[in-house]
């Protein structure tokens, strides 16, 4: 038995485990990787299309589209998740914040259209009463399916085949597979606001073999669905063992390469250990006054909470996601296993990093602030201690102080940093008020953080357009904050297509990640960055009364 996993630019093949089912990589030419000659439709018993930016990246070739369509016509399971679901649909309007729709055509295997709807919740979903697909066999309408959303274009409209106004091109009419509701997700937030809604999040075709779902982790968290797939393709016990062995091999291949089709290998043990030694030396130097001096060595590297650094900023549009992605990719090239977390619920921001690393979206990837997010920082650190990560980067949310005077505790990045002794690299984009204004803003933020007990170990001005002005303000920043001038860094202004490189609007993962990695490697000293990190430890949150003393 063979189950394919689509592996093309813009896909997220490591974002989840897909129930440990995939056995074979399917490339953009529609062929199985191992053979590079056999067509997917002839070799595979099922195919899974992962999330990512498949439509935005235009990475699904005619050959691959034909193979997927052939499998659907043959009655084989075709399962699309998030962006993979959108590929199976008629069309998706990716025109968020655009004055007019921007339509991306799908394969028309599911008779639905998509339009913007943002959701980043961990969710419970219920099964539709009117669907008889194999996918939800033995699951009652009173049972919950669990997983998470991570999408920008999640509003699903089932097209009525009798509606003369519905938009169908010739390809859609030819396929005409229909669409039936499969499941509905209960969500608490939508489009950046609180809600209490139930939204359509999955459909099947009329025959039930083509499945589209917006729920990531649906195969990992719901074993009954995995059993249903295996039962549907007729896998026996011997074949099950072969499937899982092949899956282990597939995962090793996926993790061996940075991003997709870059040719950049990541598993160089010698290179990795050398960089770990740099981190260990830095950590041990920071605990010279501790009774545990020099406890940290290669043998104990993965027995403690990994060294952690937060990328905070003076406000939105500072370039945190770009910087985090570039640093994450560069450290992964060095052989480190890097965890990337997000303060608050918007885990879409760490997708470019996960595209580079092929790591999973963990159930602690979103650090809870107030009532939003997935897991509180105390529990997150416990989980990290038992992980196999070497280094942790936390992307902040908006300004580090945004929300700090809300009576909900914690409600800002600064409070998370204070609670767990997490050092910060402070960032400001200079594109709005200029380099000079950014410098003043950074000094103010840095000194207030230091007053609150946060170690700000570096400052980075992003989108710098004049190096001479930067050199002048770096001296000012160093004088006013007490940092060394060597710890005042910059990245230049990079020319990119705004629409396709804005995570909360529209993004081509492979393009955004490529620019981020190249820029960071060209302008930042990675040794300097990792030496800014420290071993975190939860000590408790500031009370609201304590916070007010600083303002």
3-state secondary structure 275-303: HHHHHHHHHHHHCCCCCCCCCCCHHHHHH
Residue 275 has a pLDDT of: 79
Q: Same domain, yes or no, for 387 and 247?
A: no
Q: In terms of DSSP bridges, do strands 145-148 and 122-127 run parallel, antiparallel, or are they unpaired?
A: antiparallel
- CA separation (Å) from 244 to 3, 32, 306, 388? 11, 18, 30, 21
Query: Residue 357 is part of which domain span?
Result: 270-460+526-538
pLDDT tens-place string over residues 15-35: 999 999 999 999 999 999 766
Q: What is the pLDDT of residue 499?
A: 59
The sign one gets for the Cα dihedral 71, 73, 77, 83 is positive
Domain boundary among 223, 255, 287: 255
Closest CA to 356 of 328, 378, 382: 328
Q: What percent of the chain has pLDDT over 90?
A: 83
pLDDT-derived band at 293 (thresholds 50, 70, 90) equals very low
CATH number at residue 411: 3.40.50.300
Distance of CA 496 to the CA centre of its chain: 21
- Final residue of a structural domain among 228, 255, 282: 255
- CATH number of the domain bearing residue 169: 3.40.50.880
Query: What would the pLDDT profile of 45-99 be if each residue is shown by its tens digit?
Result: 999 999 999 999 999 999 999 999 999 999 999 999 999 999 999 999 998 888 8
Q: State whether 65 and 214 are in the same domain.
A: yes
Q: Are 328 and 340 contacting, i.e. CB atoms less than 8 angstroms apart? A: yes
Cβ neighbours of residue 439 under 8 Å, at least 6 residues apart? Answer: 461, 473, 476, 477
How far is residue 413 from each of residues 130, 292, 453, measured CA to CA in Å? 45, 29, 13
Sign, CA torsion 193/198/204/206 = negative
Residue 383 maps to a domain: yes
Model confidence at 292: pLDDT above 60: no
Contact residues for 451 (Cβ-Cβ < 8 A; gap 6+): 550
Rounded CA gap, 145 and 491, in Å?
A: 44
The model's pTM is 0.94
Residue 543 in any domain: the answer is no
* In the predicted structure, residue 479 carries a pLDDT above the cut 50: yes
Within a domain: residue 446? yes
pLDDT in tens, 437-476: 999 999 999 999 999 999 999 999 999 999 999 999 999 9
Name the band, by pLDDT with cuts 50, 70 and 90, for residue 506: confident
Percentage helix, strand, coil for the chain under 3-state DSSP, each rounded to 5: 35, 25, 40
Question: Hey, what are 23's tokens?
Answer: 């056995």
Question: Do 124 and 145 meet the contact criterion of CB atoms below 8 Å apart?
Answer: yes
Domain assignment of residue 492, yes or no: no
Rounded (5°) CA angle 192-355-202: 55
Q: Residue 271: its pLDDT value, please?
A: 66
Query: Residue 277: which of 353, 359, 334, 341 has the closest Cα?
Result: 334
Tokens 């669905």: give the residue. Answer: 225
Distance, CA of 369 to CA of 410 (rounded, Å): 5
**Does 509 score more than 50 pLDDT?**
yes
Residue 236 and residue 94 share a domain: yes
In angstroms, the CA 191 to CA 152 distance is 9
| Sign of the CA dihedral running 259, 262, 263, 268 | negative
* Same domain, yes or no: 448 and 337: yes
Cα torsion through 420, 426, 427, 433, rounded to 10: 120
Angle at 391 between CA 441 and CA 543, to 5 degrees: 50
Q: Confirm whether 513 is domain-assigned.
A: no
**Shared domain check, 359 and 456:** yes
Mean pLDDT of the chain: 92
Claim to verify: residue 163 and residue 312 sit in the same structural domain? no
Q: How far is CA 395 from the centre of its chain?
A: 11
Q: Tell me, yes or no, whether 58 and 204 share the same domain.
A: yes
Residues 317 and 208 in one domain: no
Q: Is 201 exposed, middle or buried (0-12, 13-18, 19+ CB in 10 A)?
A: buried
Q: 368: alpha, beta or left, given left = phi > 0 and alpha = psi -120 to 50?
A: beta
| Shared domain check, 95 and 156 | yes
Domain count within the chain: 2
Is 495 domain-assigned?
no
Cα-Cα-Cα-Cα dihedral sign, residues 453, 458, 459, 463: negative
Q: What's the CA gap between 525 and 396, in Å, rounded? A: 21
Q: Find, among 238, 329, 244, the residue nearest to 524 by Cα.
A: 329
Lowest mean pLDDT among 167-176, 313-322, 383-392, 524-533: 167-176
Same domain, yes or no: 179 and 91: yes
Residue 497 lies in a domain: no
Residue-wise pLDDT for 344-395, tens only, equals 999 999 999 999 999 999 999 999 999 999 999 999 999 999 899 999 999 9
Q: What is the DSSP code (8-state) at residue 372?
A: B
Judge if 221 and 300 occupy the same domain. Answer: no
Both structure tokens of 389: 């990560």
Clarify whether residues 295 and 195 are in a common domain.
Answer: no
Give the domain-ending residue among 255, 283, 316. Answer: 255
* Residue 466 falls inside a structural domain: no
User: For the purposes of burial, counting CB atoms within 10 Å of the CB of 206, is it exposed (0-12), middle (13-18) or buried (19 or more)?
Assistant: middle
């Amino acid at each position: 038995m063979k189950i394919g996993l689509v592996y093309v630019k813009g896909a997220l093949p490591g974002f989840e485990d897909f129930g440990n089912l995939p056995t074979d990589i399917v490339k953009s030419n529609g062929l199985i990787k191992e053979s590079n000659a056999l067509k997917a439709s002839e070799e595979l018993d099922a195919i899974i299309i992962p999330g990512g930016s498949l439509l935005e990246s235009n990475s699904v070739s005619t050959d691959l589209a034909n193979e997927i369509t052939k499998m659907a016509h043959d009655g084989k399971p075709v399962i699309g998740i998030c962006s993979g679901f959108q590929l199976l649909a008629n069309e998706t309007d990716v025109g968020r914040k655009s004055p007019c729709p921007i339509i991306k055509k799908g394969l028309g295997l599911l008779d639905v259209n998509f339009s913007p709807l943002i959701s980043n919740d961990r969710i419970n979903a219920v099964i539709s009463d009117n669907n008889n697909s194999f996918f939800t066999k033995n699951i009652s309408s009173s049972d919950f399916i669990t997983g998470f959303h991570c999408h920008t274009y999640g509003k699903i409209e089932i097209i009525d085949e009798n509606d003369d106004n519905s938009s169908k091109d010739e390809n859609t009419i030819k396929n005409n597979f229909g669409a039936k509701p499969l499941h509905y997700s209960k969500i608490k937030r939508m489009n950046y606001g609180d809600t209490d809604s139930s939204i359509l999040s999955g459909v099947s075709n009329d025959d039930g073999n083509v499945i589209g779902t917006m729920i990531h982790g649906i195969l990992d968290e719901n074993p009954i669905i995995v059993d249903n797939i295996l039962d549907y393709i007729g896998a026996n016990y011997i074949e099950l063992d072969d499937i899982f062995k092949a899956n282990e091999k597939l995962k090793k291949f996926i993790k061996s390469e940075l991003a997709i089709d870059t040719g950049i290998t990541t598993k160089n043990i010698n290179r990795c250990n050398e960089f770990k030694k740099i981190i260990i030396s830095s950590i041990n130097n920071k605990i010279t006054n501790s009774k545990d001096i020099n406890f940290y060595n290669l043998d104990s590297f993965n027995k403690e909470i990994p060294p952690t650094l937060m990328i905070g900023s003076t406000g939105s549009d500072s370039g945190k996601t770009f910087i985090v992605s570039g640093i994450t990719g560069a450290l992964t090239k060095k052989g480190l296993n890097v965890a990337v977390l997000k303060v608050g619920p918007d885990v879409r921001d760490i997708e470019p990093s996960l595209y580079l690393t092929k790591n999973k979206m963990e159930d602690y990837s979103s650090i809870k602030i107030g009532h939003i997010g997935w897991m509180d920082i105390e529990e997150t650190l416990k989980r990290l201690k038992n992980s196999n990560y070497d280094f942790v980067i936390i992307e902040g949310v908006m300004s580090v102080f945004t929300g700090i005077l809300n009576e909900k505790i914690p409600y800002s990045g600064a409070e998370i940093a204070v609670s767990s002794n997490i050092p910060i690299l402070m960032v400001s984009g200079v594109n709005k008020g200029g380099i000079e204004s950014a410098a003043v803003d950074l000094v103010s933020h840095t000194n207030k953080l230091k007053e609150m007990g946060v170690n700000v170990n570096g400052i980075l001005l992003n989108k710098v357009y004049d190096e001479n002005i930067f050199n002048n303000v770096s001296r000012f920043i160093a004088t006013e904050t007490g940092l060394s001038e060597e710890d005042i860094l910059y990245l230049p202004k990079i020319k990119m297509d705004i629409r396709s490189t804005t995570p909360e609007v529209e993004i081509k993962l492979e393009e955004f990640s490529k620019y981020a990695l190249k820029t960071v490697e060209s302008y930042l000293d990675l040794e300097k960055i990792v030496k800014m990190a420290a071993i975190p430890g939860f000590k408790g949150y500031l009370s609201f009364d304590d916070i007010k003393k600083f303002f």
